[in-house]
């Protein structure tokens, strides 16, 4: 698309070794490099960015400007994300409510809709299936869609959205995407028996067209650090049910830990808020308070 000022417009779908691959609305892909002016402004192009660029041909282009982002994830580094699919395995590696809530808190922080997809339910004994039906019921009550291994249910969420797949290493993200779209042929890795987790087989972020939307496969990881901007005051509102309930607290700046008249603690006692969610909130709050600030040079 031409913006009328001589530049073309498109979206970065891949970034490798200093080259940015930009797709236009017409479906053409241009290989570009960033202009020096972007470095002077300390602007780093990200996969998902909408950009203006100039190009003599499809292999010799230059990024001129990065258009405003609606959001920007830190890990993975993707911009303008609409939906985050958190892929968690039932077994090998074992399902973790703590890790799930970490992913959900991050998505809430970046104002990205979230969905939970559980893989490897075939490894769960029949007697333990109820555990995941309970997770499904509990998290859907909070407002998060939960899909238990049925990949066909995912398709309706993709159209007209940029979707990021994230989750545990070895949970089967790339395998799931390959089943959804065999043409992607994304690299998959076996689970390390000694470590109980998968090798990182996804090396860079790339957007792929799928079901009238774009999806990104991203490196798997087993832990998440909280951004410096995620403060103790912000955290309660990243748990939607805690943020909503906090309106009934006696004190306006209630941390929902030791204060009297705390509506959140009362809701936990009455099983209106999951005890596991409240325990994870307390743990995350402690981690954020103990986190050392990262000072930037020259500031």
- Is the overall model pTM greater than 0.75, yes or no? yes
Which domain CATH number covers 91?
3.40.50.300
Sign (positive or negative) of CA dihedral 14, 20, 25, 28? negative
CB contact at 8 A, 11 and 49: yes
Q: What pLDDT is stored for residue 172 in this prediction?
A: 84
Both 205 and 105 in one domain: the answer is yes
Same domain, yes or no, for 132 and 186?
Answer: yes
Is the residue at 180 inside a domain? yes
Helix axes 275-290, 97-109, angle to 10 degrees: 60
- Do 154 and 103 sit in the same domain of this protein? yes
Q: Are residues 193 and 242 in the same domain?
A: no
The answer to whether residue 1 scores a pLDDT higher than 60 is no
Q: 3-class DSSP state for residue 51?
A: strand
What percent of the chain shows pLDDT beyond 90?
Answer: 62
CA–CA separation, 292 and 47 (whole Å)? 29
Is residue 75, in this structure, part of any structural domain at all?
no
Q: In this predicted structure, what is the pLDDT of residue 13?
A: 95
Token pair, residue 94, equals 């074992």
pLDDT confidence tier of residue 192, bands split at 50, 70 and 90: very low
Helix, strand, coil % in the chain, rounded to nearest 5: 30, 25, 45
Same domain, 88 and 184: yes
Q: Does 295 map to a domain?
A: no
Of 66, 94, 114, which residue sits at a domain end?
66
* pLDDT value at residue 293: 62
Contact of 83 with 69, CB cutoff 8 Å: no
Range of the domain at 153: 83-217
Mean pLDDT (the chain, rounded): 86
278 lies in a domain? yes
Q: What is the pLDDT of residues 49-58, one digit of tens each?
A: 999 999 999 9
Q: Which residue, among 141, 151, 144, has the nearest Cα to 121 in the 3D structure?
A: 151
Question: pLDDT category, 43, cuts 50, 70, 90?
Answer: confident
Tokens of 181: 């779209």
Residue 79: predicted pLDDT: 95
- pLDDT tens-digit profile of 228-270? 899 999 999 999 999 999 999 999 899 999 999 999 999 999 9
Whether residue 62 sits in one domain with residue 87: no
- Residue of 206, 152, 132 lying closest to 174 (CA atoms): 206
The gap between the terminal CA atoms of the chain, to the nearest Å, is 40
Residue 22 belongs to a domain with what CATH number? 2.40.50.140
State whether 122 and 206 are in the same domain.
yes
On whether the CB atoms of residues 166 and 103 are closer than 8 A, the answer is: yes
Residues 192, 162: contact at Cβ < 8 Å?
Answer: no
Helix or strand (DSSP H, E) at 83: strand 83-89
Burial of 185 from C-beta contacts in 10 A (0-12 / 13-18 / 19+): exposed
* Dihedral sign computed on CA atoms, order 89, 92, 96, 100: negative
**Residue 228, in any domain of the structure:** no
Q: What is the CATH number of the domain that holds 273?
A: 1.10.40.50
Beta bridge partners, 65, equal 52
**Listed range (39-48, 89-98, 169-178, 180-189) with the worst mean pLDDT:** 180-189
109 and 190 within one domain? yes
Residue 28 within a domain: yes
Domain count, the chain: 3
For 166-191, write each residue's pLDDT tens digit: 887 788 887 888 888 887 655 444 43
């Amino acid at each position: 698309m031409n913006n009328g000022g001589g530049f073309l417009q498109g979206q970065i779908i891949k970034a490798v070794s200093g080259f940015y691959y930009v797709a236009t609305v017409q479906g053409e892909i241009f290989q570009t490099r960033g202009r020096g002016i972007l470095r002077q402004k300390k602007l780093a192009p990200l996969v998902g960015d909408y950009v203006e660029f100039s190009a003599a041909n499809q292999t010799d282009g230059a990024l001129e400007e990065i258009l405003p982002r609606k959001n920007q994830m830190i890990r993975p580094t993707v911009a303008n994300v609409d939906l985050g699919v958190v892929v968690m395995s039932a077994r090998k590696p074992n399902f973790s409510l703590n890790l799930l809530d970490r992913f959900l808190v991050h998505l809430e922080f970046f104002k990205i809709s979230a969905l939970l997809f559980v893989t490897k339910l075939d490894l769960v004994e029949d007697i333990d299936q109820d555990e995941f039906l309970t997770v499904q019921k509990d998290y859907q009550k909070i407002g998060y869609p939960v899909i238990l291994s049925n990949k066909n249910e995912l398709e309706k969420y993709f159209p007209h959205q940029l979707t990021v797949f994230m989750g545990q290493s070895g949970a089967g993200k790339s395998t799931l995407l390959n089943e959804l779209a065999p043409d992607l042929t994304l690299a998959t890795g076996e689970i390390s028996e000694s470590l109980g987790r998968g090798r990182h087989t996804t090396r860079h972020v790339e957007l792929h067209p799928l079901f009238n939307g774009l999806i990104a496969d991203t490196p798997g990881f087993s832990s998440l650090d909280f951004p410096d901007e995620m403060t103790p005051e912000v955290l309660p509102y990243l748990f939607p049910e805690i943020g909503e309930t906090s309106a009934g607290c006696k004190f306006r700046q209630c941390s929902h830990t030791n204060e009297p008249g705390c509506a959140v603690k009362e809701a936990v006692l009455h099983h209106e808020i999951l005890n596991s969610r409240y325990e994870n909130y307390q743990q995350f709050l402690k981690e954020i308070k103990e986190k050392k600030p990262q000072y930037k040079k020259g500031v």
